[in-house]
Structure 1
Amino acid sequence: MLSIPETRDTETTRAERALVGLMIIHPSIIDRCEIELHDYRCVDSDASQIWPVLCELRRGNFPMADLTSLAVEVRKRGIAPASLARVANEAGLPSNENFYIHTLTKQRRKRRLLKLAADALEKLDREDCDVDSVADSLSSGLASIPQLSKRKSRAGDIMMDVLALSEETQQPVRKVFSGISTLDLKMGGFRDGQLIVLAARPSVGKSALAAQMAINAAKDGAKTLFISLEMSAQETVARAMAFETGINMQHILDGTLQIGDVNRLKGLATAYQNEIPLYVEDRSNLTMHRLEMLVKQYSAKQRLGFVVVDYIGLVSSDDSRKSAWEVTEKVSKGLKQLAKSEKVPILALSQLNRDSEKEKQIAIPTLAQLRNSGSVEQDADAVLLLHRESRQSKDATLILAKGRNCGTGKLSLEYNGPKYEFIPAMVDNEFSKDF
């Protein structure tokens, strides 16, 4: 059994005593510590006894006017008043408050890392060790440990940071375009941190439309990751080849190609190898945590510009007791958080329920038909609903059912089945506003 060494360095104990002493003199500091250091465990014996008492009294609105009344409360809890006197005598300077809190935050992070490492080493030492499980647990644990940062909340400070970043880069806000000009004009492109949901009933063409958007983003230079949980990487790429060349996808997969077609496809493959940064992953049993690690892995060397997840309903749960509703809710919230943390737009596909298919004429889909979880709508910055009345129909409608800062509307499209391509209909190439 591996033990975790308890760190008792002088800097930490001094910071603990100085901060607790400051809490006595300036009780408002307790409020900040309750937020930023709520789970901190003191090493110093005096500080470890007095800290929780001060927090308890503060929550109860106890007037901490003098040491005498505090000493009475401390004694009631079986603590020697001498402990209170010692930390009060070592109170730090108010101007050093940030330094003390930073020191203890760093110490808490160090302890968590030590425990995580010790737990992993203990598991790896067993003969029946599941290495993949340990790796997942280690990655999850590392992700849960907050980074040390000087968090800002004042709007003016954040504004200055935004302006400073803009001056440094001298570049406009990054955007990814779908390739459907009318949609791009309406939405202004997909921006970093956005979660865009594309929903449709089965076999309507949502995967084809998502692949089309991914190809366009990659050809514009955005490093693009297409995560397919429904089709193999070969099928996904074969669709891309059909989209690019018009060659029948089945012929590509079966190997029944004409010599001229083979040469065209080899040229296309070479272009994608050397110039077009499109990556396809077809992992099975992918949990939200593993999906997150996969995205971060691709972003490690070069920042991703666009991510597609096909689709939400196939992301696995790491807890078999959870309902489909709970799993979908966790995934949608996880994807939104991932988009923000990695500063990348994520297009996530979702299925609509089949209720309206029972009718003779299939109705135009609505947000209410998003399958399993209303949180998908809440978490998404934009929701696109794709509609075709039948698999044979070339006529399609793309509905912008939710759009933060861009409104709603619908657009008529035409679907070219052999190429897996959607294009704006010639008769109606503008978004209508009557949705």
Structure 2
Amino acid sequence: MTAPARPRHDRRPPHDETAEQAVLSAMMLDRAAIAVAREQLIPECFYREAHRRVYQAILALEERGAAPDPVSLADELRRREELHAVGGVDYVAQLLDAVPTAANIAHHAAIVRQHAQRRLVIAQAQAAIEALYQGLDPATVAKALSADVLPMAVDDAAGLGYQRIDPFAVLDEIEARMRGDALAYPSGIAPVDAQTHGFRPGELIILGGVPKAGKSLVAHNLAAHAASLGHPVGIVSAEMSAAQVTERLLSALSGVPLHVSASGRLQAWQIEKLTTAAARLAKLPLYIDDAASPSLDDVLARAVALKAQHSRLGVIVVDFLQLVRFPLKGRRGDEELTSIAYALKGLAKRTKTAVVAPAQLNYKDIEKRPDKRPQLQDLAGSSGMLQAADFVALLYREAMYWKDRPDILELDFRACRRTAPFAVSVWWNGGTMSLTAQGTAGEAAPAQHALGF
């Protein structure tokens, strides 16, 4: 067995002095380059301490409205008592001549940023190694390392931080919608998509319902439909195991009722349908995390990790919201739920995904009312959820209370950030855990499952 390579301690940390000089030179040549550099870099991104000090001095001059020419910059450094430390007037003049133009500022800043990230990862990895040698729990060390390092991949791609508004980028998005090729994630339920035109990256969708109303079904079908269009999807299933979720999807896709597959008494044609469905389902970029009662930190960290692995991740389902643990000492339960809702909204924006979160309603109050249709106040922590969410849909099945009524699922979108409130109804197919569009005069339309295959 080959012995593991011993770490080398003679290596200099990754950096590119020429790129650092090019960034500072561009900032001195063109004040527009200062805004570009500021969006990508903080002082700690520079490896050389002298370059950090020059960078901060340039930013200070810019804030005062002064141009960072060599004379002004040297004077600022002298005022800070740092001119000698950076190499004196001669080095400041040398920086000005590092590049002939500021045209490549974005490229050079990206090089500096990438080297800074490499140094950060190395430092975090070395700290993790030391912690493991000291006997710390491996899972704790791994979790801390993930929390420190993995968000970098997402934040770098997302361009987080202050950004200049770009109305033309928004106009391009509007024109893309006109052409029908804007990035959005249809639910697969035609009447819902007619209103929303698909859920967009950065949106939080909350599905409220009593137990057995169909929250998970709608969420899982939406996820599977997005995956069928080629968008990677993550499902946090705190209530059901990965096998249970998969069996539901197989039933919906194949049309073989769940109770039949559960009994083990299947006919050859049913096995064939399930096999065909399994082959199609296996091709979908669906990823399930079925840890019971996950903490909010775990949900966020694993979602960020999945985004880092699959940059095109489109939808994240958190099923369901009340099973996510986020204890706040001295706070009420509804305050904890509000914090979770805001955190999920932040996750949607950070990862540029649509986050779908089924949520339990206060069914005890509903049971006491003659009209069992849920209201927004039945949503525990409703004020915070309403503020955080882009869409809040309340689910209702009349047949749950009156057995002689047709089994129709109503999705009442009561709170909508970018559309007027609306409601749609679809047939509930309990046997196969699927949804079918309603036809006219109470008749079911031709089979058109919400999965959209």
TM-score clears 0.5: yes
Give the match's secondary structure for 1:103: helix
Equivalent residues in 2 for 1:350-369 (5 A)? 350-353=359-362, 357=366, 359-362=368-371, 364-367=373-376, 369=378
Q: Among 201, 222, 237, which residue is 1:228 paired with?
A: 237
Aligned length: 411
Q: What secondary structure does 1:108 align onto? A: helix
**Superposition deviation, residue 363 in structure 1:** 5.9
1:364-403 paired onto structure 2 within 5 Å: 364-367=373-376, 369-372=378-381, 374=383, 376-378=385-387, 380-388=389-397, 391-393=400-402, 394-403=407-416
2:276 to 256, 271, 279: 271
How far off is 1:386 after superposition? 0.8
How far off is 1:350 after superposition? 2.0
Answer yes or no: is the 8 Å Cα contact 1:241–1:265 preserved in 2: no
1:6-17 matches, within 5 Å, as: 6-7=12-13, 11-12=16-17, 14-17=18-21
In 2, the alpha carbon distance for the partners of 1:73 and 1:220 equals 56
Decide whether aligned partners of structure 1 residues 193 and 56 sit closer, same or farther in structure 2, where only a CA change above 3 A counts.
Answer: closer
SS of residue paired to 1:40: helix
Helix, strand or coil: the match of 1:399?
strand
| Equivalent of 2:138 in 127, 131, 141 | 131
Structure 2 portions without partners, runs of 5+: 1-6, 445-453
**Hey, what does 1:309 align to over in structure 2?**
318
CA contact (8 A) 2:256 2:273 kept: no
- 1:50 touches 1:84 (CA, 8 Å); kept in 2? no
CA distance in 2, matches of 1:54, 1:208: 56
Q: In structure 2, what is the Cα distance between the partners aligned to 1:23 and 1:144?
A: 29
How far apart, CA to CA, are the structure 2 residues paired with 1:266 and 1:320?
Answer: 52
Is 1:56 aligned with 2:69?
no
SS in 1 for 2:281: coil
Match of 2:41 among 37, 58, 63: 37
Residues 1:210 and 1:53: Cα distance change in structure 2 (over 3 Å): closer
SS in 2 for 1:275: helix
**Seq. identity, %:** 21
**d(CA) in 2 for partners of 1:34, 1:386:** 47
Q: Is the 8 A contact 2:202 2:345 kept in 1?
A: no
Change in 2 beyond 3 A, CA 1:6/1:162: farther
What's the counterpart of residue 201 of structure 1? 210
The residue type equivalent to 1:200 in the other structure is G
Is the alpha carbon distance of 1:391 and 1:272 closer, same or farther for their aligned partners in structure 2, counting shifts above 3 Å? same
1:4 touches 1:115 (CA, 8 Å); kept in 2? no
2:424 aligned partner, one-letter code = L
1:78 alignment partner in structure 2: 81
Give distance in 1, aligned partners of 2:79 and 2:413. 63
What is the Cα deviation at residue 271 of structure 1?
1.9
C-alpha spacing 1:88/1:395, structure 2 compared with 1 (3 Å):
same
How far apart in 1 are the matches of 2:313 and 2:52?
45
Question: What letter is aligned with 1:87?
Answer: Y
The Cα offsets for residues 39-97 of structure 1, whole Å up to 9 and x where unpaired, read as: 435444543444333433443x2645876666555444333468451333111334353
Query: TM-score, structure 1 length as denominator?
Result: 0.72
What do residues 180-202 of structure 1 show as CA deviations (whole Å, max 9, x unaligned)?
Answer: 44334333445666543322233
SS in 1 for 2:381: coil
Task: Give, in angstroms, the shift of residue 137 of structure 1.
Answer: 3.2
State the superposition RMSD in angstroms. 4.7
Specify the code of the residue in structure 2 equivalent to 1:372.
G
Pair 1:288 & 2:299 matched: yes
- CA 1:62 to 1:74, structure 2 compared with 1: closer, same or farther past 3 Å? farther
- Mapped to 2, the partners of 1:319 and 1:2 lie a distance apart of 44
Contact 1:21–1:87 under 8 Å retained in 2: no
Unaligned runs of 5+ in 1: 431-435
Q: State the TM-score, normalizing by the size of structure 2.
A: 0.70
